[in-house]
Structure 1
Amino acid sequence: MTPVAVSFYVLSETKAQGLLGFVCSLTQTVIEKSDLALIILSDDSAQLSQIDDALWDFEATSFIPHQIIDDRETSENSHANTATTSKNLLPRVLLSQALPNGFLGAVINLTPKALILNSETSLQNSASQNSNPSRILELVLPDDQSTVLGRQKYQSYQQQGCKLQHFKV
């Protein structure tokens, strides 16, 4: 099994102030440089709504097709790795509070916890929902709480055998 690539983006004060813009830029980079479907994961529905608005207004010359999906759609969707369901065609970028079953794409994880990945040695939990994304992107803001959470996530991914890297932006 290939280890999951996890990238930590340690944001400067300036980047953190423009967090929505950074999420939009990161989203655009992922869809331009890969064929992966992308989930922006947040446990805060207000934040997802703000990201939704920001993606619509991000750049006047480009468009990032996206859709907010709810818990019913994520639990029903067992083949989200291609961002399609049997009922309809979803865009490559999805915003959700839960990771869809069977998701194999990239995840921008804005939740306070690391994702628990499937492996022979790890226990299943409701957060992973039998999903193993191929890439996880974590954002660390320049404050004490975010730094502590980032370190906890880093340790969790390290224990799960992920390929870790970090970038200061």
Structure 2
Amino acid sequence: MTRVDFYVLPGADASARRVFACRLAEKAWKAGHKIFIRVNDAAEAGILDELLWTFRQGSFVPHSLAENRDNDPLAAVLIGTGAAPEDFHDFLINLAPDVPEDWAHYRRLAEIVDQDEAVRQAGRQKYRFYQSQGLEPATHKID
């Protein structure tokens, strides 16, 4: 069964959501997980690709854009807009506004929500969806 966690950030800054996603990916990678970060579009994927190198002084998270995976087979974190490859169904960080079609394939799923009205509304819809599927999402308020 999929474990779903909602992380609720205090502000309405998209960059704070991205940095939190990077921190979460780094923590999961250090714990031995393969992580797929799902984003809404290629521009967002590019921003996260750069940010994973710079979000923290001395940070190193082996990652790649999903479409470049063949060039970097050792990447533990993939960033993409579609479905994750089968061997990346361990941990999903979903920054896209909708529920991924393959949500049930993941062992763990993280939704990062902030106080931006559109992001909050999308988060509420996703929360209700997961509940309707018999899951009990956990909510973590981040200060």
Task: Provide the alpha-carbon RMSD of the alignment.
Answer: 2.5
Is residue 156 from structure 1 mapped to residue 118 from structure 2 by the alignment? no
1:133 to 102, 106, 110: 106
What is the Cα deviation at residue 88 of structure 1? 6.6
Q: Secondary structure at the match of 2:137?
A: strand
1:23 to 14, 21, 24: 21
Q: Secondary structure at the match of 2:25?
A: helix
Q: What number of residue pairs does the alignment pair up? A: 141
Contact kept? 2:38, 2:81, Cα under 8 Å: yes
Greater relative contact order (Cα < 8 A, sep 6+): 2
Distance 1:134 1:111 in 2: 18
Contact kept? 1:39, 1:93, Cα under 8 Å: yes
Which residue identity does 2:52 align to in structure 1? L
Contact kept? 2:91, 2:106, Cα under 8 Å: yes
Distance 2:62 2:56 in 1: 12
CA radius of gyration, larger in: 1
Contact kept? 2:13, 2:116, Cα under 8 Å: no
Q: Secondary structure at the match of 2:106?
A: coil
Q: Partner residue of 1:97?
A: 81
Which residue identity does 2:98 align to in structure 1? K
2:61 to 60, 64, 77: 64
What is the Cα deviation at residue 17 of structure 1? 5.1
Q: Which ranges of 4 or more aligned residues in structure 1 deviate by more than 6 Å?
A: none
Identity of aligned residues (%): 30
**CA deviation profile, 1:81-110 (whole Å, cap 9, x unmatched):** xxxx7x972311000111224342100101
Is residue 114 from structure 1 mapped to residue 87 from structure 2 by the alignment? no
Q: Secondary structure at the match of 1:53?
A: helix
